[in-house]
């Protein structure tokens, strides 16, 4: 098992209220905030994805009381990388000033669940002696490639941010269980087509440009979650031996206000046990879960012994969860 030694988060300087976008899409002031439930989000201007990652990582290291040189594994769990090649994690390692060869650094991508899968990967590497202290970070610039012209209500859900955690082998508490399941029948329900090999910019620049926008079929995602997510949580709890009432805190992916409401209804967790920050931050893709984790820790919602469930969904479509005792 692993335990979390410290966490940190980062935001761009600019906060943009939803009212700012209403006129742009020809709607009355207040439309997007009321329709989506997201009143504000932070948007990068001068900041890069690596800038956000560095700030979050340094905050996590400080919280953990660990120097950068004490880290021997860096995992970047972001849905969208800094660039296709090389991975983002080596750029973070370089920015933190770690010496060549002092750590392994690579990316783990499961879109919105990337941080959880990276955390699970770190746990397995620490358990097998391949690492001692790991730094896991998710950094997202979600405000780009959004479909403001076609799906403004979808575009308004997203915001930028980063968060990180330092983990090591647990002596007490720590990670109890994890579970991930994938439902590829909804592969195209949440997608950004360009940026990989599917559309070749050099041979088909128009096709590349046409698929360079994020798109989401909310109804299909809702249908899939309605059918399977409740049973998924049941199976995760079965691995822990916990009943629902044993769970003190739920740290969910901040997909949308509607998705959080639906998740609470499906799973039966009391709303006051679910950490919800989406109204003022939006969906930060893979950074959502660790960002909420840092908020929970720094607002004293995770005292020692807190039984915590991390839960989320991702494009693909996958469900993921991790049980943890603080």
Helix, strand or coil, per DSSP, at residue 189? helix
Of the residues 57, 76, 190, 253, only one is catalytic, namely 253
* Rounded CA separation 310/289 (Å): 7
* Joined tokens for residue 114: 């990337």
Which residue is listed with tokens 């691995």? 239
* Rounded CA separation 23/212 (Å): 24
* Rounded CA separation 131/133 (Å): 6
Cis? peptide before 156, omega within 30° of 0: no
Q: What is the DSSP letter of 178?
A: E
For residue 192, how many C-alpha atoms fall within 13 Å in the half-sphere facing its CB?
A: 16
* Joined tokens for residue 38: 């997201």
A 10 A CB-CB count for 257 gives 18
Question: Is the Cβ–Cβ distance between 187 and 159 less than 8 Å?
Answer: no
Of the residues 57, 112, 190, 281, only one is catalytic, namely 112
Question: Is the Cβ–Cβ distance between 291 and 251 less than 8 Å?
Answer: no
Q: Phi, psi (5° rounding) for residue 82?
A: -65, -40
* Joined tokens for residue 252: 């969910």
Q: How far does CA 210 lie from the centroid of its chain?
A: 26
Among positive and negative, which fits the CA dihedral 181, 88, 323, 218?
negative
**Is 253 annotated as catalytic?**
yes
Q: How would you label 209-221 residue by residue, b for 16+ Cβ within 10 Å and e otherwise?
A: eebebbbbbbeeb
Q: How far does CA 116 lie from the centroid of its chain?
A: 8
**Which residues are the active-site residues?**
112, 253, 283
């Amino acid at each position: 098992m692993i335990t979390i030694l410290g966490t940190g988060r980062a935001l761009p300087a600019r906060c943009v209220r939803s009212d700012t976008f209403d006129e742009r899409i020809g709607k009355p002031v207040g439309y997007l905030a009321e329709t989506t439930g997201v009143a504000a989000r932070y948007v990068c201007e001068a900041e890069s994805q690596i800038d956000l990652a560095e700030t979050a990582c340094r905050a996590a290291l400080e919280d953990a009381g660990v120097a950068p040189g004490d880290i021997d594994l860096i995992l970047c769990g972001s849905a969208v990388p800094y660039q296709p090649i090389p991975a983002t994690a080596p750029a973070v390692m370089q920015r933190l000033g770690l010496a060549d060869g002092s750590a392994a650094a690579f990316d783990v991508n499961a879109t919105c669940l990337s941080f959880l899968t990276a955390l699970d990967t770190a746990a397995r590497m620490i358990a097998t002696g391949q690492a001692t202290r790991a730094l896991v970070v998710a950094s997202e610039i979600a405000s780009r490639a959004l479909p403001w012209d076609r799906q403004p209500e979808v575009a308004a859900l997203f915001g930028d941010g980063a968060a990180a955690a330092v983990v090591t082998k647990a002596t007490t508490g720590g990670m109890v269980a994890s579970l991930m399941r994938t439902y590829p029948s909804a592969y195209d329900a949440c997608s950004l087509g360009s940026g990989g090999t599917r559309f070749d910019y050099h041979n088909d620049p128009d096709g590349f440009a046409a698929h360079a926008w994020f798109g989401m079929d909310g109804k299909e995602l809702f249908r899939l979650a309605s059918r399977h997510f409740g049973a998924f949580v049941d199976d995760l709890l079965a691995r822990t031996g916990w009943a629902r009432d044993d769970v003190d805190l739920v740290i969910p992916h901040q997909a949308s206000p509607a998705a959080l409401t639906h998740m609470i209804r499906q799973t039966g967790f009391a709303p006051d046990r679910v950490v919800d920050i989406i109204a003022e931050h939006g969906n930060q893709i893979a950074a959502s879960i660790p960002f909420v984790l840092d908020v929970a820790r720094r607002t004293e919602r995770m005292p020692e012994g807190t039984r915590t469930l991390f839960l989320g969904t991702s494009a693909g479509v996958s469900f993921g969860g991790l049980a943890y005792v603080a």
